[in-house]
Amino acid sequence: MRPDGPGSLRDLVEEDSLALRRRSLSEEVVDKLRDLILLEKLPPGLALNERELSEILGTSRTPVREAIKQLEADGLVEYTETRRPRVADPSMKTLSQWLMIQGTLEGLAGEQACLLASDKELDHIASIQKRMVDLAESDNRLALFGLDMDFHRAIVAAAHNPPLQETHNQYNARLWRARFVSSQRHANREMQMRKHQDIVDALLARDGHAAAAALRNHLNNAINNIETALKERAAG
């Protein structure tokens, strides 16, 4: 006879299944809120009310609360002195410091990828760049930005260095909105494609020095581009 009391296998499996469903729902809420923050439908500094968000998203408050915690860890949400969550609005100085670190991380990743990546991994990186070029004039801003982030993550993954990848993910999450703002400047789009192609060319040639330099240069350019984009938005 199978036991069904507290602590039984049935209880444990059901608890795990419930936790999995709840985690999956909170991940969906995280993705939705992240997109709304990127598109500035939830602008910097906006207070986030759990009840209102749960009503808008058609879910309970629990996954919304869990999503806000995750977005805080990602640097997209911050808390006021009274512990009320709001959309983060980091200073340009802070963004510049994060981007300097990100440039160093990606430069190292480029060097390591030239040494350790398979031909298949490098071809995959080149294919992402080609898809970006094909989509460059599209109005699908989120799709283009998603490819941009896929491009950089693929380079870091090709370095085959888990601690490097983990650290890069942390800073990438914090810079998500700022890099999205940067990527939306049409005046910068052509330059961005050229810099990506420089990175691809260096990787395919397995020239670690050139790949590192191209990646650091790309991230340094992002600092200036983000500052210009934010000034344009403030003036417009």
Question: Could you report the per-residue pLDDT of 162-220, keeping only the tens digit for each?
Answer: 999 999 998 988 888 888 877 776 666 777 888 999 999 999 999 999 999 999 998 88
- Looking at the fold, whether 97 and 206 belong to one and the same domain comes out as yes
94-147 tens-digit pLDDT? 988 999 999 999 999 999 999 999 999 999 999 999 999 988 777 777 888 889
Confidence of residue 49 (pLDDT cuts 50, 70, 90): very high
Name 113's bridge partners.
none
Last residue of a domain, one of 87, 106, 123: 87
In this structure, what DSSP letter does residue 40 have? T
Decide which of 68, 87, 106 is a domain's last residue. Answer: 87
Residues 158 and 191 in one domain: yes
Specify the CATH number for the domain of residue 48. 1.10.10.10
Give the HSE-up count for residue 182: Cα atoms under 13 Å, Cβ half-sphere: 23
Q: Which domain holds residue 99?
A: 92-235
Give pLDDT, residue 152: 95
20 and 71 assigned to the same domain? yes
Q: Give the chain's radius of gyration (CA, Å).
A: 21
Structural domain contains residue 200: yes
Domain boundary among 87, 106, 139: 87
Residues 116, 208 share a domain: yes
* pTM summary value: 0.77
